[in-house]
Amino acid sequence: MHQATINFGLVKHRRFRPASNAFGYGVFTLSIPMRSRKKESDLLSKCGLGDNQNKLLSFFDKDHGEGGSDSLQWIENILQENQIPHVDGEIWLQTFPRVLAYVFNPVSFWICTRADGQVQAVLAEVNNTFGERHCYLLYKESGEALRSGETLKSKKVFHVSPFCDVTGEYHFRFLFPQDSQSKRNSVCRIELHRDGMPLINTSISGMSSPLSKRALYSAFLRYPLMSLGVVMRIHWQALKLFVKGVPFHSKPTPPEFEVSR
């Protein structure tokens, strides 16, 4: 049985062209062992986290996937439909929790592992501020496990920002702690490349430790308005890009909710 962790770290974002823009700020995320949660129904609640009920900090299944009541079944169905083998270990979800019943997750990561802890696949679940969602499934068609730090590529097909059109290719890199009982640093890095050159680099890092009531209270005291702050920062950076003269792109008609590679 695995234990959930809380991860305190930084979000960093840098745009290279046509105008330079960079920022960074502190956040915290949760890493939830979803299969262990299914086996132990009070896994999260005994740590002080609301499990499908509103508390100071909460997790809701409906905030993920297609908005259903069982997000674990949703990701397991995706793995089966895409014939991804050897996911017989834990499935970890790294995500922002609800803070005071509100959350906005620019990106969450489903880390699907083998029995020995190696990562077999990662699903990046991306949300935009228009209430739309798209998922990028990252794995090797050979069936091999993913190596820490290797680059995984996926064509951009989802509108995220009006200052960036739906072209280019994402380069994902991951470094996740495998021992959830000790403090380890995790890093998720996403680069958007266009015309063979990096356009945007984004990363989220965090030092993990076991989830507990004390850790949750500490997180709330440090970031009492984190979810609202994420949305406010997105709009503030958009205003800065507008002032710098970065071209504006109208939002295209969203694709049907789907998973792509």
Q: pLDDT above 70 covers what percent of the chain?
A: 94
Give the closest residue to 122 by CA, choosing from 158, 146, 98, 97. 146
Residue 254, pLDDT > 90, answer no
Question: Mean pLDDT over residues 244-256, rounded?
Answer: 81
Q: How confident is the model at residue 252, as a pLDDT? A: 82
Residue type, 41: S
pLDDT digits (tens, 9 = 90+) for 182-226: 456 788 999 999 998 999 999 999 899 999 999 999 999 999 999
Query: Can you give the residue ranges of every domain in the chain?
Result: 5-260
Is the pLDDT confidence value at 250 over 90? no
SS3 label, residue 203:
strand
pLDDT over threshold 90, residue 44: yes
Model's pTM, two decimal places? 0.93
Strand, coil or helix: what is 99? strand
Which value, to the nearest 10 degrees, does the dihedral of the CA atoms of residues 52, 53, 59, 64 take? 50
Residue of 169, 174, 213 lying closest to 94 (CA atoms): 174
CB 210 within 8 A of CB 85: no
The predicted model gives 61-88 an average pLDDT of 96
Query: Residue 81 pLDDT > 90, yes or no?
Result: yes
Query: Where does 54-110 have alpha helices with state H?
Result: 71-81
pLDDT band at 74 (very low <50, low <70, confident <90, very high): very high
In this structure, the strands spanning 133-139 and 119-127 are antiparallel
Task: Render pLDDT for 157-193 as a digit per residue (tens, 0 to 9).
Answer: 999 998 999 999 999 999 866 544 445 678 899 999 9
Q: Which residues contact 211 (CB under 8 A, 6 or more apart)?
A: 3, 4, 5, 6, 30, 44, 47, 49
**Which two tokens mark 104?**
């906005």
> What pLDDT digit, counting tens, does each position of 110-122 carry?
999 999 999 999 9
- In tens, the pLDDT along 102-158 reads 999 999 999 999 999 999 999 999 999 999 999 999 999 999 999 989 999 999 999
Worst-scoring range by mean pLDDT, 26-40, 50-64, 177-191, 210-224? 177-191
DSSP conformational letter for 128: -
CA atoms within 13 A on the CB side of 28: 25
Kind of pairing between the strands at 185-194 and 152-155: unpaired
Which amino acid would we find at residue 64? H
Q: Does residue 11 surpass a pLDDT of 80?
A: yes
pLDDT at 32 over 50: yes
